[in-house]
Amino acid sequence: MIKSEALERIMAQCYGTEKWYRYFPNNNFLYTDGVKTFAENAEAYWFITEAFLMCSELPKDELYEIDLDVKDSKADITLKVARSKIVKKWHIDYTDCPEGHWVFFYTDHVFMWHDEY
């Protein structure tokens, strides 16, 4: 399992995307290189699924912040609109994702690492 500090160093390199990935071949939910890098290195592809479930019915013209807070092998996912109003919260009872506060954005059917916006 990767340590938080190592993941932070890797994610610092993600500040733009060259490729978008489609979650399912027949839907409009896309994710970026940064999200893919996070999921691969944190062994957290489950997080892409959780984001898809949280965002699947949202209006596409808003900017949403998705915060992943991991501590003591538990995770809380918070979806906010306009970086303040909480829209949804989700709790994960167990994860081996590295501890930390990880920030992502979602807009126009694209899920991205915060530095890619």
Kindly report the CATH number assigned to the domain that includes residue 24.
3.10.450
- Alpha carbon 4 to its chain centroid, in Å, reads 16
Residues 2-17: tens digit of each pLDDT:
999 999 999 999 998 9
pLDDT at 82 over 80: no
The residue type at 30: L
Residues 19-59: tens digit of each pLDDT:
999 987 767 899 999 999 999 999 999 999 999 999 988 88
Q: Are 34 and 112 in contact (CB under 8 A)?
A: yes
Range of the structural domain that residue 24 is part of: 4-116
Q: How many domains does the chain have?
A: 1
Residue 109 and residue 22: Cα distance in Å, rounded?
10
Quote the pLDDT of residue 22.
92
Residues 91-101: tens digit of each pLDDT:
999 999 999 99
Provide the percentage of residues in the chain whose pLDDT is more than 90: 77
